[in-house]
Homo-oligomer: A and B are copies of this chain.
């Protein structure tokens, strides 16, 4: 992971910050794990499907949700709850395998999830957020949650982040957790999160399920501002397959236990907090891209020289989303014409005749296009560059200051295989 001065990567995920407990377990929403049936989570053979993250005290909380018109019931319920509390929350309950979306009884059951936690932990139901992921349009079975809720809460621990992170995995092959430690106002602060992939990933304001916790003291308003800023240049610059999920939820909970003076405006402290959020969300974004369904390679497209940030984002995402380019990367084929093609259909203003393209990886780099036309390059070198599992596509589109990175992955046989029969 890229180093950032003043920030130290630490273990702990959603439990890295002081006063945050978590737990995860198998309650029966997923099919039961059988030895060697291939259904277990690859992480420690766990097959968790339900988890809880809870703070020892009330948090300021902000969230971004999917922009899809079809919103999962948990999105609607979490939005209502945050509105009712004016941006406060103390716990988040999550499950995988069933998105509880397009169900007539969906909201009722999502609210029931919050109640089950609240009743047992001395909170109001509105102080609990809920996030669900999985198949759309299948009736959500609330019974397994009711049966296991006591065990889930009894098992909460300050080191159970892994149990939680694995419970939100669906087709993910690795858990996604990142946390950092940093100084603020003379106090040691922590900020960490967990996320899940890995299909239906083309975020619009947020992606999939991401829970971020911090012991920083920061106002709801400033969390929301930082989250909206950072999501634009991290999760919203990610695409696995162009399909925008109905259940995208990214929530940040800040409990203030680090003891710093609460951040309430945009000064230096805010910048330090925002950068911590960026580091965690950017790294989770990379993890999500690299573990995209069926992916064999991480693709990282950086566009420079744009007239502004939005132009750079639009062009970078256009490249990352091109199925033909994604297939070429799977085949380690330096078919740069497809990059130019995708740059060309991006809905953005720039001079196509000024476009330069370089392909790079640990194995080196090749300059494949200059001023919009091909330049001679060694196919052999290009092959070496593209056989690596992390590929950078560097696209210069002019002399402006706008710069952005978008993340994606290659399109492989396994993506088709995984999604040909996902429901079973």
Binding site for B on A (CB under 8 A): 67-71, 99, 101-104, 135-139, 199-200, 204, 241-246, 321-325, 327-328, 330-331, 333, 335-338, 340-346, 352, 369, 372-374, 411-413, 415-424
Residue contacts A-B, CB under 8 angstroms, 7 given:
A67-B345, A70-B345, A136-B341, A244-B341, A328-B419, A328-B422, A412-B416
CB contacts (< 8 Å) of A421 on chain B: these are 328, 331, 333
Chain B residue nearest to A68 (CB atoms) is B344
Known: A241-B323, A242-B242, A322-B243. A70 touches B344 (CB 8 A): yes
CB contacts (< 8 Å) of A419 on chain B: these are 323-324, 327-328, 331, 411
Known: A69-B344, A243-B322, A411-B416. A337 touches B369 (CB 8 A): no
A343, B70: Cβ atoms closer than 8 Å? yes
B324, A199: Cβ atoms closer than 8 Å? yes
B416, A337: Cβ atoms closer than 8 Å? no
Known: A335-B135, A374-B137. A341 touches B420 (CB 8 A): no
Chain B residue nearest to A99 (CB atoms) is B337
A104-B369 Cα distance, complex, nearest whole Å: 11
CB contacts (< 8 Å) of A137 on chain B: these are 336-337, 340, 369, 373-374
Chain B residue nearest to A202 (CB atoms) is B345
CB contacts (< 8 Å) of A369 on chain B: these are 102, 137
Name the distance in Å between A318's Cβ and chain B's nearest Cβ.
10
CB contacts (< 8 Å) of A418 on chain B: these are 327
One complex includes copies of this chain to the number of 2
A421-B99 Cα distance, complex, nearest whole Å: 37
Name the distance in Å between A268's Cβ and chain B's nearest Cβ.
39
A311-B375 Cα distance, complex, nearest whole Å: 43
A250-B290 Cα distance, complex, nearest whole Å: 39
Name the distance in Å between A179's Cβ and chain B's nearest Cβ.
31
A243, B342: Cβ atoms closer than 8 Å? yes
B352, A70: Cβ atoms closer than 8 Å? yes
Chain B residue nearest to A331 (CB atoms) is B420
A336-B137 Cα distance, complex, nearest whole Å: 8
Name the distance in Å between A420's Cβ and chain B's nearest Cβ.
3
Closest 3 CB pairs of A and B: A136-B337, A331-B420, A70-B344
CB contacts (< 8 Å) of A413 on chain B: these are 413, 416-417
CB contacts (< 8 Å) of A138 on chain B: these are 337, 374
B420, A333: Cβ atoms closer than 8 Å? yes
A417-B328 Cα distance, complex, nearest whole Å: 10
B330, A68: Cβ atoms closer than 8 Å? no
B204, A102: Cβ atoms closer than 8 Å? no
Q: A68-B345, A246-B344 are in contact. List 6 more A-B contacts (CB 8 A).
A: A69-B346, A102-B337, A137-B340, A200-B338, A323-B419, A327-B415
Name the distance in Å between A235's Cβ and chain B's nearest Cβ.
15
CB contacts (< 8 Å) of A135 on chain B: these are 335, 337
Chain B residue nearest to A346 (CB atoms) is B69
Name the distance in Å between A335's Cβ and chain B's nearest Cβ.
5
Name the distance in Å between A393's Cβ and chain B's nearest Cβ.
15
Name the distance in Å between A313's Cβ and chain B's nearest Cβ.
17
Query: Which of B102, B241, B343, B345 lies in contact with A324, CB distance below 8 A?
Result: B241
CB contacts (< 8 Å) of A68 on chain B: these are 341, 344-345
B420, A70: Cβ atoms closer than 8 Å? no
CB contacts (< 8 Å) of A411 on chain B: these are 416, 419
Known: A69-B352, A70-B352, A242-B242. A102 touches B422 (CB 8 A): no
Query: Which of B67, B70, B345, B352 lies in contact with A340, CB distance below 8 A?
Result: B70
B242, A321: Cβ atoms closer than 8 Å? yes
B374, A103: Cβ atoms closer than 8 Å? yes
Known: A70-B372, A345-B68, A373-B104. A327 touches B416 (CB 8 A): yes
Name the distance in Å between A392's Cβ and chain B's nearest Cβ.
19
A222-B321 Cα distance, complex, nearest whole Å: 38
CB contacts (< 8 Å) of A99 on chain B: these are 337
A103-B417 Cα distance, complex, nearest whole Å: 37
CB contacts (< 8 Å) of A200 on chain B: these are 324, 338, 341
